[in-house]
């Protein structure tokens, strides 16, 4: 286990190097010149040159790449080009709001999805199963934008149960008052694909020989479903939830933007719009590391749960 | 029995799958819309300002408050120390244009699925926009399938460092947030 982990950690290096090269290449090739953006509409060549020197974009590409690598090694990405806020401060203050929405969202949608998937997998082929599957397909076909607008209009604007958007100062207020509607929308959106996926995982297990054996020796249906099937199906489900997390951190930007939540996703969009390279660099490196770590944890978890799995 | 080709086998399998077969026609209908919009048979006049500003959808009926003249009252120019507003004539012109009075034809109070700020039909805009979206989506999917098959087959067939290289490429691309890869270049 430990040699395997060390080997996998060592493999992080080439992947991270690839990420660094790709991000650097993409930014310099398709991104705009940040100096023009910062200088504003009325500017002269000397101002532009000055800003370029301050940002360090007048250096040669190898030098800039070297600085990038040094920044990763010291975990200090300097200050944002747009606001001059320290990148580390940006992440420290934006991570909380993101997690306030994402953690309850993932927990609720996973638990609800598993419960519903257990039900329809158990009743496979019945009217309930088909009705739920059709409802899921319809629900999945509707854009998240429609969910956000309709929920905001009906529940927040018309009925006044939630604030339409905003963010407070205390954790309790944020979680119960401002995140509530965002979490409801997120659950509504992710429930349909979750149920479909988990149903497949559960049906794979229900078709296995050990389930037939368990039933044949007279075990109660409840024990077969809740102990044998659920435990085995939990492996792919947990992996799936884990693998979603790094992507969601930056990917929940639509929810964060519509609900005015000052999270990571919103910051990423702003950074891309402003050509704010320090923030883009930090986000891509952090998300890449998180993705690799989560992958490793998922593989180790597999091994821990299922001793048949051989890690090479 | 005569030997069947790959395509005829695939076709007969699709024929047997009822949901799949119906779905095929849904996809074909979307492609037909895309081609019709590209050929100009559909929604070619999407830029025309047919309705009033923010015209409600036809099934909701016309906006009564607008008809009764309950819209925001026009305020006169603000007195600023006796200096006349130099933009007043231009603003009056714009206000006239916005109210729709200046238009040379009568504007419809409702549109099939509503209108935007300039009174353009949202349904037509959606059909025209679908042309681009569907083309980009189909082209990207086709290219990704082609590249993925060729590179995957190459990696699997050659093995060794070729396989390692493509595996590395794959893990690099999957480690970068999708948002950063797909974000459009900034608008300037």
Interface test with B, best of A10, A291, A299, A312 (most B CBs within 10 A): A291
Identify the CA nearest to A105 among candidates A305, A233, A251, A231. A251
Render pLDDT for A150-195 as a digit per residue (tens, 0 to 9). Answer: 998 988 888 889 888 888 888 888 888 888 898 999 898 889 999 9
B117 phi and psi angles, rounded to 5 deg: -60, -35
Do the Cβ atoms of B114 and B55 come closer than 8 Å? yes
Q: Is there a contact between A31 and B186 if contact means CB atoms under 8 Å apart?
A: yes
| B27 at interface of A, judged by CB pairs closer than 8 A | no
Residue A248's pLDDT is 78
Indicate whether B147 pLDDT > 90.
Answer: yes
Q: How far apart are CA A140 and CA A192, in angstroms?
A: 6
Indicate whether A290 pLDDT > 70.
Answer: yes
Residue B150's pLDDT is 94
Render pLDDT for A109-160 as a digit per residue (tens, 0 to 9). Answer: 999 999 999 999 888 888 989 999 999 999 888 888 889 899 989 888 888 8
Cβ–Cβ pairs < 8 A, chains A and B? 67
Q: Band of the pLDDT at B184, cuts 50, 70, 90?
A: very low
DSSP string, A68-134: HHHHHHHT---B-TTT--BHHHHHHHHHHHHHHHHHHHHHHHHHHHHHHHHHHHHTTTSHHHHHHHH
Q: Helix crossing, A87-122 with A264-273: angle to 10°?
A: 120
Nearest to B177 among A30, A274, A287 (CB): A287
Indicate whether A312 pLDDT > 70.
Answer: no
The whole-number average pLDDT for the span A200-206 is 90
Chain B residues with CB inside 8 Å of A18's CB?
168-169, 171-172
Chain B residues with CB inside 8 Å of A37's CB?
186, 188
Q: Model ipTM?
A: 0.70
A226 phi and psi angles, rounded to 5 deg: -80, -30
Q: How far apart are CA A53 and CA A35, in angstroms?
A: 9
Q: How far apart are CA A154 and CA A142, in angstroms?
A: 17
B104 phi and psi angles, rounded to 5 deg: -85, -5
| B182 at interface of A, judged by CB pairs closer than 8 A | no
**Residue B160: left if φ>0, alpha if ψ -120 to 50, beta else—which one?**
left
Render pLDDT for B46-101 as a digit per residue (tens, 0 to 9). Answer: 888 888 888 888 887 777 765 555 555 555 556 667 777 778 788 887 777 666 55
Chain B residues with CB inside 8 Å of A291's CB?
174-175
Contacts of A308 (CB under 8 A, 6+ apart): none
| B178 at interface of A, judged by CB pairs closer than 8 A | yes
Residue B66's pLDDT is 58
Query: A275 versus B102: which is more confidently predicted?
Result: A275
Q: Band of the pLDDT at A87, cuts 50, 70, 90?
A: confident
How far does Cα A136 stand from its chain's mean position? 22
Tokens of B120: 């353009």
DSSP string, chain A: -HHHHHHHHHHHHHHHHHHHHHHHHHHHHHSPPHHHHHH-SS--HHHHHHHHHHHTTTS-HHHHHHHHHHHHHHT---B-TTT--BHHHHHHHHHHHHHHHHHHHHHHHHHHHHHHHHHHHHTTTSHHHHHHHHHHHHHHHS-HHHHHHHHIIIIIIIS-SS-SS---SSHHHIIIIIHHHHHHHHHHHHHHHHHHHHHHHHHHHHTSHHHHHHHHTT--HHHIIIIIIHHHHHHHHHHHHHHHHHHHHHHTHHHHHHTT---HHHHHHHHHHTT-HHHHHHHHHHHHHHHHHHHHHHHHHHHHH-TTPPP-
Chain B residues with CB inside 8 Å of A250's CB?
177-180
Nearest to B175 among A15, A30, A36 (CB): A15
Chain A residues with CB inside 8 Å of B177's CB?
246-247, 250-251, 268, 283-284, 287
Nearest CA in chain B to A293: B175
């Amino acid at each position: 286990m430990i040699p395997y982990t060390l080997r996998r950690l060592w493999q992080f290096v080439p992947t991270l190097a690839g990420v660094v090269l790709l991000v650097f290449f993409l930014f310099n090739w398709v991104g705009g010149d940040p100096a023009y953006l910062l200088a504003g509409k009325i500017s002269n060549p000397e101002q532009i040159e000055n800003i370029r020197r301050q940002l360090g974009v007048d250096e040669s590409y190898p030098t800039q790449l070297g600085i990038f690598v040094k920044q990763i090694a010291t975990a200090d990405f300097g200050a944002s080009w747009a606001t001059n806020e320290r990148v580390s401060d940006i992440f420290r203050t934006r991570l909380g709001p993101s997690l306030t929405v994402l953690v309850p969202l993932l927990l609720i949608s996973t638990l609800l999805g598993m419960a519903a998937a257990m039900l329809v997998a158990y009743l496979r082929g019945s009217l309930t199963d088909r009705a739920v599957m059709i409802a899921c397909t319809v629900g999945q076909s509707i854009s998240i934008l429609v969910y956000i607008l309709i929920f905001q209009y009906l529940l927040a604007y018309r009925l006044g149960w939630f604030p339409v958007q905003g963010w407070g100062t205390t954790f309790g207020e944020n979680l119960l008052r401002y995140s509530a509607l965002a979490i409801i929308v997120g659950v509504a959106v992710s429930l349909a694909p979750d149920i479909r996926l988990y149903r497949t995982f559960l049906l794979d297990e229900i078709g296995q020989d050990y389930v037939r054996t368990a039933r044949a020796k007279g075990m109660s249906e409840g024990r077969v479903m809740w102990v044998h099937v659920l435990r085995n199906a939990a492996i792919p489900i947990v992996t799936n939830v884990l693998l979603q997390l790094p992507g969601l951190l930056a990917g929940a930007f639509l929810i964060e933007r519509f609900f005015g939540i000052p999270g990571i996703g919103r910051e990423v969009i702003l950074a891309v719009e402003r050509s704010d390279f320090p923030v883009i660099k930090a986000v891509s490196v952090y998300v890449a590391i998180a993705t690799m770590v989560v992958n490793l944890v998922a593989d180790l978890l597999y091994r821990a749960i299922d001793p048949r799995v051989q890690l090479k | 029995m005569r030997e069947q080709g790959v395509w005829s086998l695939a076709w007969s399998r699709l024929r047997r799958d009822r949901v799949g077969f119906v779905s095929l026609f849904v996809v074909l209908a979307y492609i037909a819309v895309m081609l019709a919009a590209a050929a100009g048979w559909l929604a070619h006049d999407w830029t025309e300002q047919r309705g009033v500003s923010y015209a409600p959808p036809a099934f909701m009926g016309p906006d009564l408050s607008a008809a009764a003249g309950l819209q925001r009252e026009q305020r006169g120019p603000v007195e600023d120390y006796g200096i006349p507003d130099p933009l007043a004539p231009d603003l009056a012109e714009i206000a006239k244009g916005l109210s729709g009075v200046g238009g040379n034809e009568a504007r419809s109070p409702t549109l099939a699925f509503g209108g935007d700020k300039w009174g353009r039909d949202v349904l037509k805009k959606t059909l025209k926009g679908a042309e681009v979206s569907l083309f980009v989506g189909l082209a990207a999917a086709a290219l990704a399938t082609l590249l993925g098959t060729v590179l995957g087959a190459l990696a699997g067939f050659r093995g060794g460092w070729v396989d390692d290289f493509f595996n590395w490429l794959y893990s690099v691309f999957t480690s970068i947030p999708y948002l950063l890869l797909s974000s459009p270049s900034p608008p300037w």
